[in-house]
Structure 1
Amino acid sequence: MKIWTPLVILLAIVLGVVQMLRPLPAPTLTLTAQSGYAFEGGTPEMPWPSEGQASIDVAGLGSLGSYGKQKSVPIGSVAKVMTAYIILRDHPMKPGGNGPGIPVDDTAVDEAALSAEGETTVELDPDSKLSQKEALQALLIASANNVARLLARWHSDGDMQAFVDEMNRTAEELGMENTTYTDPSGLKDTTVSTAEDQVILGKAAMKDPLFKQIVAMPVYTDSRGDDHDNSNKMVPLHGIGIKVGSTTKAGGNFLFATEKKVAGEQQLIVGAVLGQYAVPQLPTAMEFGRQLMAAGEKALTDMTVVEKGDVVGEVDDGLGGTTPVVATEDVVAPGWGGLKVGLELGTDRSGEVPHEGAKGDAVGVLTMGSGQGEVRVPVALAEDMAEPGIGAKLSRLG
């Protein structure tokens, strides 16, 4: 006993010091509130067209539904949305700027005469330059086929096929599984897609402020002083874009977007109507689009999922201690009848949860939804939180 007792005491002291000096485990945030909520009511009924296919979606929230067999069909000038998307993605423009000057080649000048054969084109001056902004206006508002091909040549150093290949690569990257592009204007009937695929593209394209601005313009004036009306006659009375397209084979097609302020934010609704052959084809497609926009806006509402001050989770210090956290604001979610939404609790931009803090200190973020429909609310300590005490430090294992 005389020999071992001092050694045991010394060992205990050493272990105690080691325990006290060991780094504390990183605190974690755990959700204690319900992880999912459902809006009251049934799924909204949509005024689907009587033929073809259609789809409508709310960005960041989900689909309001689809109609018809989603098979690949010709889409006409709706294909120009992909052309514009690639141009803006690979040649981004500064806000308020006009972008670089695009040399107008002889081909683009000569192809303006194809309007006599039924193509949509704009007149261009030889040996001139179009600003990138005007070229996009001609593409999306006047629906000029000759400018679509000019932009493709400019982007890909004169190689039209290289641009078409890029259109298909981009479609694949976006998850447009039933889409094939064979030209930048959509004139060819071999350029095909589905309503659901075009909604995917529409949501991606509308993230660009300039694209969104252009497709909402009812008219633009070109550098020659000529006015060009938007081929989408819904603008500005209904919606904020996006593009119409029609050929004999494709029928009437309409990729559209509108917005409604819900839960304090503008929620983006994007839809598509394809394959409308009832005469007049294009106005028929646009009318069904208008009805779907109105129905989507009517269906979109909000629900208070969590109220300010509600306990939604806790901080676990890793040593057996927990501190509740509360929402600092109401969590008001946008949605519609039958929609299920999920809650997630995570750290803020620092990526760390503190070991100690005072009541009311922000320690994380409660998130619902994603993208444009995302709702983020800070969470704070419901009471003072102290660093683990001596007892917890000495008794921890592992």
Structure 2
Amino acid sequence: MGETTGEAGTVPERARDPRVALYEAPGDEAGTGGEEPSPNGDGPAGAAGAAGSAEGGDTARTAVREPETREPEETGEPEKAGEPEAAGEDASAGGDEPAGGESGAGPVDQATAVFRTPEDKAEAKAGTGRTDEDADADAEEADGGTGPAEDRDPAEDGGAGAGPVDQATAVFRTPEDKAGSRAGERTGDGGGGEEAGADRPVDQPTAMFRVRPESASEEPGSEDPGEAADPGEPEKTQEPEKAGEQAESDAERTSRFVPLRSADAPRVPPAVVSPEQPPHTPGPELPEAERTRQQPLPPHRPLELLAELTNKPAPPETPVRVALRRIKIWSPLVLLLVIALAVAQLMRPLPAPELVLTASATHTFEGDEPTLAWPPEGQAVLEVEGLGSLGSYGEEKPVPIASVAKVMTAYVILRDHPLKAGEEGPRIPVDAQAEKDAGLSAQGESTVEVEEGEEITLDEALHALMIASANNVARLLARWDSGGSEKAFVEKMNAAAEELGMENTTYTDASGLRKDTVSTAADQVELGKKVMDYEAFREIVKKPSYKDRNGVSHRNWNGLVPYNRAVGIKTGTTTAAGGNLLFAGEKEVGGTTQLIIGAMLGQHKPPIIDTVIAESRELLVSAQEVLKSEKIVAKGDVVGYVDDGLGGRTPLVATEDVSAVGWSGLKVELALTDGGKGVPHTAAPGDTVGTLTVGSGPGQVKVPVAVRGELAEPDLGTRLTRVL
């Protein structure tokens, strides 16, 4: 390292160990020329204290330094009168034997010197047996008789401590540091400054423990002499009274600081670094009275210290403790999760109960297939609505159907203009074409008399269409429905046929007079089942006759009505088409009313109208005869159960005997339904909760079913453990 040479002397810089810097005191009472008397009572405060510090009790630092070889520099004459040689001898003697007697022997602990209170200093003076007057006299002698130490500006003391000032630590230096620095600058190269203070640079890490005097920063224009002063320029001095007050105030303030050293850390005695004594050699200890009262240095950071003070030491880790700790952590979370799931399960709506059939889903009637009275020619199809087909006869191919086409005309009108049984419906104005077409009766067409400008009700128009088979009224309804266009209405008729699945049917007019209006017996049966769903239509076609608005009676061309329980539907005869009839009849069996629908086409034996009616009657009667009823479920038999959706099952029993209607070889289907009302969640034993059905359509058999035991909601455990 280089050296810094000033007017007061030369202070070489040496390497420091930063690991022990935290234990060094920021103020060097003896080595820097502080205001307090030296513990070595036989020398002045400046020169003797600095010398004793250099060899026997270096109170300015505890860092271990390597011995170094120094050559004394030649310096000029001291500015003030003094005894440099005597001061050097005193300094040399202070390293071998402590000055000041028994009470002052021993090195001062540098880590606590900064925090000594005025009482500590007073005890130190008392231990040496010296008074303030003696110390002042010694100081005056060392300084050449310039006055007592307390009355002088510390900067004027030219003893130990002179040397370069560390700017990083100048702000926090204690009054003793600054007084010693001033003294070193004043003495220049005399008074032991070279030996006691020249080889002691300020340790940078200790700056954090030094306190800057308040007077230096509070007074405007004030500047710490040791902070940036040039060693070659004389230092400005303070008035003696202010310097004494400032030193006393600084001493009181520094007594409140707590040193950052642990209570159980070993005390490190100051090391004296000199050519005569090797490093790490501890000096003599001071008596107990000279030591500074101190608090333990925190060994860790504040949060770690707080944890050590408030928490008990953790027990050693074992598998059992780890398991218990995990149980303590996870148990509340698991419990909270279980509670949340339980609440969610209880709040979930219950699934809707369902009826499940356990009885056989089908029933087949025993015996051979029945024999029916089929016609000798043409084609025919016979069905029981809801049960199935009784069979067919002839080749299924499109043929002219004549006035049977009026059934589709009535279906489209009722579909687009609904009419209830007994209602008259909207009024239809009669146009000139309808009146003109009424005169075609002379050419063999079926018509009714109407006049232009009058109005007829929809109910009367349907009567004229289905019973009197009036061609002029059929064309009038087509124009009225489609805005005056018969062609548009015919398109609607074909669209309806396609919707019903009548693949072999084509309509070219609304009356069926044209021979290119063709269909099959099977297609007409499908249309007959659909149109018979309209009550107003059924009430009309089952009448043998009706009277119009003028009181004129018109006979029903369907001669089956009202015989053999025939209920319709429509005849159609032309020379090209022959005799055609779409008919319907009923049969009471097994407590039900079965509807039989049949169609017979292409009967050309004259008279064709009588032939088709006679053949249709035989076929209808044979069908009524083959229908029979068989009991398939007895009263009280279990036919199914109520499924609550969570595994609960409540048996269902039939409330009366269940009979199926059919014929030999027929297979019918059974089902459980709730009738659209829904199955209840709770019910008492014997309460009706559904219906057992056999077959479909108008002849469907229906029997109520009831729960055999109590129907209750799922219990709490079932609701908590449900998955879906």
Name the CA shift for 1:395/1:89 in 2 (closer, same or farther; >3 Å).
Answer: closer
1:103-125 CA-to-partner distances (Å, cap 9, x unmatched) read: 11111111122122221112222
Query: Hey, what does 1:281 align to over in structure 2?
Result: 608
1:12 is displaced (CA, Å) by 5.8
- The counterpart of 1:57, out of the listed 383, 387, 395, is 383
Select between 332-341 and 23-32 the one with higher mean Cα deviation.
23-32
Structure ID, larger Rg: 2
Q: Which has the higher strand share?
A: 1
1:200-248 CA-to-partner distances (Å, cap 9, x unmatched) read: 1111122222211221222222222322211112222241111111111
Is 1:180 aligned to residue 496 of structure 2? no
1:271 aligned counterpart, secondary structure: strand
Structure 2 gaps of 5+ residues are 1-322
Amino acid at match of 2:661: P
1:4 is displaced (CA, Å) by 4.1
1:156 is displaced (CA, Å) by 0.9
C-alpha distance in 2 between matches for 1:314 and 1:296: 37
Is 1:129 aligned to residue 129 of structure 2? no
Amino acid at match of 1:229: R
Kept in 2, the 8 Å contact 1:353–1:364? The answer is no
Is 1:15 aligned to residue 338 of structure 2? yes
- The counterpart of 2:418, out of the listed 92, 102, 117, is 92
Tell me the matched-pair count: 397
C-alpha distance in 2 between matches for 1:362 and 1:17: 38
Query: Hey, what does 1:47 align to over in structure 2?
Result: 373
Name the CA shift for 1:234/1:18 in 2 (closer, same or farther; >3 Å).
Answer: same
Amino acid at match of 1:3: R
Percent identity over the alignment is 54
Name the CA shift for 1:14/1:352 in 2 (closer, same or farther; >3 Å).
Answer: farther
C-alpha distance in 2 between matches for 1:20 and 1:337: 59
Is 1:249 aligned to residue 576 of structure 2? yes
1:240 aligned counterpart, secondary structure: strand
Amino acid at match of 2:587: K
2:651 aligned counterpart, secondary structure: strand
1:392 is displaced (CA, Å) by 3.6
Query: Hey, what does 2:623 align to over in structure 1?
Result: 296
Name the CA shift for 1:344/1:110 in 2 (closer, same or farther; >3 Å).
Answer: same
C-alpha distance in 1 between matches for 2:466 and 2:546: 11
Kept in 1, the 8 Å contact 2:592–2:701? The answer is no
Name the CA shift for 1:392/1:211 in 2 (closer, same or farther; >3 Å).
Answer: closer
Select between 126-135 and 359-368 the one with higher mean Cα deviation.
359-368
Name the CA shift for 1:326/1:9 in 2 (closer, same or farther; >3 Å).
Answer: farther
Amino acid at match of 2:325: I
Select between 89-98 and 289-298 the one with higher mean Cα deviation.
89-98
Name the CA shift for 1:90/1:48 in 2 (closer, same or farther; >3 Å).
Answer: same
C-alpha distance in 2 between matches for 1:26 and 1:141: 50
C-alpha distance in 2 between matches for 1:13 and 1:382: 42
Query: Hey, what does 1:314 align to over in structure 2?
Result: 641
- The counterpart of 1:204, out of the listed 506, 522, 530, is 530
1:198 is displaced (CA, Å) by 0.7
Select between 362-371 and 121-130 the one with higher mean Cα deviation.
362-371
Amino acid at match of 1:138: A
1:316 is displaced (CA, Å) by 3.0
C-alpha distance in 2 between matches for 1:25 and 1:234: 54
C-alpha distance in 2 between matches for 1:296 and 1:385: 44
C-alpha distance in 2 between matches for 1:16 and 1:362: 39
C-alpha distance in 2 between matches for 1:136 and 1:240: 16
Q: Hey, which bits of structure 1, 4+ residues long, moved more than 6 A?
A: none
1:26 is displaced (CA, Å) by 4.2
Query: Hey, what does 1:216 align to over in structure 2?
Result: 542
- The counterpart of 1:232, out of the listed 538, 542, 558, is 558
C-alpha distance in 2 between matches for 1:125 and 1:26: 62
Query: Hey, what does 1:3 align to over in structure 2?
Result: 325
Structure 1 gaps of 5+ residues are none
C-alpha distance in 1 between matches for 2:706 and 2:340: 33
Query: Hey, what does 2:478 align to over in structure 1?
Result: 152
1:285-318 CA-to-partner distances (Å, cap 9, x unmatched) read: 1111001110111112222222221111122334
Kept in 1, the 8 Å contact 2:432–2:451? The answer is no
1:116-168 CA-to-partner distances (Å, cap 9, x unmatched) read: 22211122223212221221111111111111111111111111011101111
Query: Hey, what does 1:364 align to over in structure 2?
Result: 690
1:78-124 CA-to-partner distances (Å, cap 9, x unmatched) read: 11111111112222224322222211111111112212222111222
2:324 aligned counterpart, secondary structure: coil
